Structure 1
Amino acid sequence: MDIKIMSGLLCLLWLCLSLNQSTAALALPYNFNSTELMKCSYGERGSLTATCVNANASYFKMTPYRFDQLDETLVCSSCNLKTLESGTFDISGNQIKNLQLSYSKIELLKQKAFVGLIFLKNLNMSHNSITSVYPGTFTGVKKIESIDLSYNNITVLSDDGFLELINLKELNLAYNSIKTISSKAFNGLGNLVLLNLERNNITEVSDVLSKLINLQVLNLRDNQILKLQGSEFTNLLSLLLLDLSFNKLDTPVIEFYPNNSLKSLYITNNYIRSPSLGFLNGLHNLETLDLSYNTIVEIQKATLLGLYHLRFLNISYNRITTFQTGVFTGLPYLELLNMSHNAISYGEITGVFSLHSLFALDLSHNKIPRLDYEALISRLPRLSYLRLEGNPLPCDLEEEMNTYFEADNFKFVLHDPYNNTKSCVLEPTKHSEKVIKETVPELDENRSAGMSGGEVAAVILLCLAYLCLGLLFYVQYRTFRESRNQGPHRATSSVNLISAEDGRPGDEYLRE
């Protein structure tokens, strides 16, 4: 009996131990120390990349992983860094050149946060919750060439936040909430080549960019900029591309010094209605100008004056009603002109000079009822591609133009290529003949038909004047001859002083 009791007790004890072990096994994932999941490991052979998973800000000094010359890139995956204290990455012996900290829940950057990364060149801190960059943050990392701070919560760019970054070439601050840029925010960035400030709340830029003398690309797209006085970009002589699209500009003045290098300017999706004369001052090297998606009603003749090297001009999606070639004759290198999606219903071939370089013209989706293509081609000798779909053109125009351009390598589009159904007008309107026409030949026809009455009278008066002058000359000549015949003999002798027989002047006079 005792043996049975003892056996039962032993079985009960074994069962309890089994249950305890099972319960502990089930609870383990929820009770273990979270630092056990933090680890750094080397990637594929030859990748030169180390990946740290689930790390916090203090882990990089605690990890048993030893960084060496093979760890050129450090990637932080699913990290929870929050605050980067001074010396967070002061890892002995590291030669890290690329630091990837995106999606790491960073909120605060303290002074000397990156000290110790003396070889660092590229730093990515996008998609975090950083609110500001304070002076001293980048102390000790002067070799950095690229910083990505996009998709954060930065509201103010403080003075001297990037002061130590004397070799920085690319700075990405896009998709933040930046509203205020301090006057010295970009101090020390004399070698910056690219600055991306897209999708912020910037209302003005004043002179905060004046010290970025080597800047080549400036992206201010999708902000709240209301006005430009003209002096904001004058010092940016190296700038090649400026994007001001999706702002609130209505009458901007963009001015550069004559020796600037700007080649591409985008001012799409603003509120420009009537560009002022000379609103693009000094842009002699500009090649691409995009003014699409504004509310432009008219472009005056001198508006584009000085854009000698312009090649691509986009004025689509505006409210222009008249097309005149004379507006563009100061653009000798213009190759592509896009005026689609306007309200053009009338045009003239004006101006003295032809557009010798224009290769493609887009007048699609306007209100043009008739086109004098012969006059158009006469002023655009290199035109090879013409788009006219989306206009109320007559149905017989296609056959007419096919016949006219049969022997030429000329392509034109009269119908929407994405729509199988043709849209045209069976009968042209009464006032649709030669809506786009040449005005100068009409004057030539008047001249060929004959001179006007005033011109005939002028010719007759001119002939009478010549006749009177001739008679007067003849009368004076006759009077002179008669006066010579009636004069004294001495006068006649004196004329022959140099005609004596011995050839010596004055002998005849002495003999007398």
Structure 2
Amino acid sequence: MDTKIMGGLLWLFVSLNLGAALAIPYFNTTADFMKCSYGERGSLTATCVNANTTYFKSTPYRFDQLDETLVCSACNLKTLESGSFDISGNQIKNLQLSLSKIELLKQKAFVGLIFLRNLNMSHNFISSVYPGTFTGVKKIESIDLSYNNISVLSDDGFLELINLKDLNLAYNNIKTISSKAFNGLGNLVTLNLERNNITEISYTLSKLNHLQVLNLRNNQIEKLQGSEFTNLFSLLLLDLSLNKLNNPIIELYPNNTLKSLFMENNSIHNLSLEFLKGLHSLEILDLSHNAITDIQKATLLGLYHLRFLNISFNAITTFQTGVFTGLPYLELLNMSHNAISYGEITGVFSLHSLYALDLSHNKIPRLDYEALISRLPRLSYLRLEGNPLPCDLEEEMNTYFEADNFKFYLHDPYSNTKSCVLTPTKHSEKIIKETVPELDENRSAGMSGGEVAAVILLCIAYICLCLMFYVQYRTFQENRNQSPHRATSSVNLISAEDGRPGDEFLRE
């Protein structure tokens, strides 16, 4: 009996010790699972794994001048409380908190990071940025809040960030931008609002006087009244592509510096004279993938420095050189994938700078390349593939441009197949021709009714004048025959004996 009791006690003792032995590593492993460590030598980077918001101040890891960058890997921060990174003696300049399951930012969440320059909080679940969030971190220059759940940009959310230059709010769910949402961001250079649900801009951007890059790509903007960007004097690039713009008006003050404007993939039908105002510095304009059917004359007037114009993937039916002659620096013109079936050389001036023209994938049946070259003296690259052109045109153009460094494509350069029309169509006149002024056409076709009446009146007047002269002449002859002296003189002139008419008259 004592032996059994002793055996049971021994078994219980061993079991308890074994359990303790197994449990100790588990608790130690859990404690060690949240830790911060220095990266490779010279990287100036510290990495904290699986940390929560209370761990940064409690960790024994000493942040010093070697830890310029703090990376949070697989962290579970959820709510950033006030002073979450108030770490004594730290000199952190770059804070990487992406993929950290952040949902809420409380006031003064980053206080204590007095050296912070760059903050990345992308790929989290942040729904809003409230006033006071960035109190105490005025030196921040870049914030990345992309790929979150922000739906409203509240007033004064970034008020303290007077040195902020780059703000990325792309890939959120922003629908509303309050009128004072960007207060305090007077030095902002780049603003990325791509892929949101913004429907209007109004005057929310008017105080961003140093903004150079504005990305509004892939939103729900339908209207632009023309005054949304007038105060953006420093703007260099404006991206409005992939919106729902129909008949937009973009107006900037004459001293603006806008170089690039992207408006592809909208619903623009016509380019009115009000379309672009004051964009004298514009160099790149992309209007591809719209529904443009016509470009009114003088629409592009004033774009003196435009170099690249893309109007591909629209519904334009006519190509006229005169529409572009107000663009003295135009180098590249892309009008591919339209419905061009007719063209004419209009205007007086040539496009002296144009060296690349893309008319591929249209409905051009024939091309007067000689007339085209006459207005495009620098043209050296021409694309015509995807048009119903005659098969003999290639040989003809090869012969014509044999001595020139001129490249043209009548077929897809990346395909071995050739597509052309074997026999000319019944409308085989050359597609691009030089037009005759309207007045000359009227004259060659025939005189108007007014001109015919004038000619008839002129003829009647001439006949009357002739009759008057004839009557006068007859009267003069009759008077002459009735005068005796004149009769004698006349006989003497004709019957002189010495054969010298007039001697008798002289002797008298």
Q: TM-score w.r.t. structure 2 length? A: 0.84
**Residues 278, 305 of structure 1: 8 Å contact kept:** no
Identity over aligned pairs, percent: 82
C-alpha deviations, 1:27-64, integer Å up to 9, x for none? Answer: 67776684431101111111111110000001111000
Distance verdict in 2 for CA 1:30–1:66, change over 3 Å? closer
Deviation of 1:430 (Å): 1.1
**Selected match of 1:351 from 347, 354, 374:** 347
2:434 counterpart (423, 431, 438): 438
1:103 pairs with 2:84: no
Q: Secondary structure at the match of 2:37?
A: strand
Picking from 312, 320, 323, the partner of 2:316 is 320
1:285 aligns with 2:281: yes
Sort the Cα spacing of 1:225 and 1:22 in 2 relative to 1 into closer, same or farther, 3 A: same
C-alpha distance 445-232 of structure 1, shift in aligned 2 (>3 A): closer
Change over 3 Å in CA distance of 1:441–1:183 after alignment to 2: closer
Aligned to 2:368: 372
Tell me if 1:191 matches 2:187.
yes
How is 1:251-270 mapped onto 2 (pairs within 5 angstroms)? 251-270=247-266
Take 1:432 and 1:14, find their aligned partners in 2: how far apart are those partners? 109
- Structure 2: tracts of 5 or more residues without a match: 459-508
Q: Does 1:332 align with 2:319?
A: no
Cross-structure match for 2:112: 116
Distance 1:281 1:331 in 2: 15
Write out aligned runs for 1:23-422 (5 A).
34-422=30-418
Deviation at 1:225, TM superposition (A): 0.3
Equivalent-residue separation in structure 1 for 2:439 and 2:91 (angstroms): 79
Letter in 2 for 1:216: Q
Q: Cα offset for 1:444? A: 9.3
- Opposite residue 330 of structure 2, the aligned amino acid is L
Offset of residue 437 of structure 1: 1.3
Change (3 A) 1:253 1:18: same
For the residue of structure 2 that corresponds to 1:340, the secondary structure is: coil
Give the letter for the 2:76 counterpart. N
CA distance in 1 between counterparts of 2:174 and 2:25 reads 42
Write the deviation string for residues 57-90 of structure 1: whole angstroms up to 9, x where unpaired. Answer: 0111100001111110000000000111111000
Separation of aligned partners in 1, 2:402 and 2:87: 75
Rounded Cα–Cα distance in structure 1 between residues aligned with 2:14 and 2:420: 88
The offset of 1:199, in angstroms, is: 0.3
TM-score, normalised to structure 1, is 0.84
Alignment partners' CA distance in 1, 2:105 and 2:67: 24
Between the aligned partners of 2:18 and 2:191, the Cα distance in structure 1 is 59
* Secondary structure of 1:412's aligned partner: strand
- The whole-number CA distance in structure 1 between the counterparts of 2:16 and 2:96 is 44
The separation in 2 between residues aligned to 1:442 and 1:278, in whole angstroms, is 28
Q: Is this contact kept in 2: 1:287–1:309, CA < 8 A? A: yes
Preserved CA contact (<8 Å) 1:312 1:335: yes
Of stretches 265-274 and 12-21 in structure 1, the one that deviates more from structure 2 is 12-21
Amino acid at match of 1:46: G
Q: 1:333·1:357 contact (CA, 8 Å) conserved in 2?
A: yes
In structure 2, how many angstroms separate the alpha carbons of the residues matched to 1:154 and 1:350? 52
Q: How many Å apart are 1:182 and its aligned residue?
A: 0.3
Asked if the contact 1:162–1:189 (Cα under 8 Å) also holds between the matched residues in 2, the reply is yes
| Paired letter, 1:298 | D
Residue identity opposite 1:258 in structure 2 = P
Distance (Å, rounded) in 1 between the aligned partners of 2:20 and 2:363: 80
Q: Distance in 1 between matches of 2:232 and 2:271?
A: 23
Take 1:61 and 1:130, find their aligned partners in 2: how far apart are those partners?
23
Distance 2:10 2:368 in 1: 103
- Tell me the residue number matched to 1:464: none
State the distance in 2 between where 1:49 and 1:63 align. Answer: 16
**Rounded Cα–Cα distance in structure 1 between residues aligned with 2:170 and 2:428:** 50
Q: Cα distance 1:421–1:441, how it changes in 2: closer, same or farther (>3 A)?
A: farther
Distance 1:102 1:360 in 2: 45
What residue ranges of structure 1 are gaps of 5+ in the alignment? 462-512
Q: What is the aligned counterpart of 1:425 among 421, 436, 439?
A: 421
* 1:8-33 Cα deviation digits (max 9, x unpaired): 955x6666655556666666777668
Do the aligned partners of 1:350 and 1:440 also contact (CA within 8 Å) in 2? no
- Structure 1 residue 419 displacement after superposition: 1.7
Deviations 1:352-383 (A, max 9, x none): 10000001000000010100000000110000
Q: Which amino acid aligns with 1:194?
A: T
| C-alpha distance in structure 2 between counterparts of 1:416 and 1:446, whole Å | 43
Aligned length: 452
AA of the residue aligned to 2:356: A
| 1:180 partner amino acid | T
Report the Cα distance in structure 2 between the residues aligned to 1:412 and 1:17, rounded to whole angstroms.
93
Instruction: After TM superposition, give the deviation of residue 433 of structure 1 in Å.
Output: 1.9
* Alpha-carbon distance in structure 1 between the residues aligned to 2:62 and 2:195: 40
Distance 1:13 1:321 in 2: 99
3-state SS in 2 of match to 1:313: strand
Deviations, residues 81-132 of structure 1 (Å, cap 9, x unaligned): 0111111000000010000000000000000000000000000000000000
Secondary structure in 2 matching 1:163: coil
What is the alpha-carbon distance in structure 1 between the residues aligned to residue 18 and residue 391 of structure 2? 86
Alpha-carbon spacing, 1:372–1:199, altered in 2? closer, same or farther (3 Å)? same
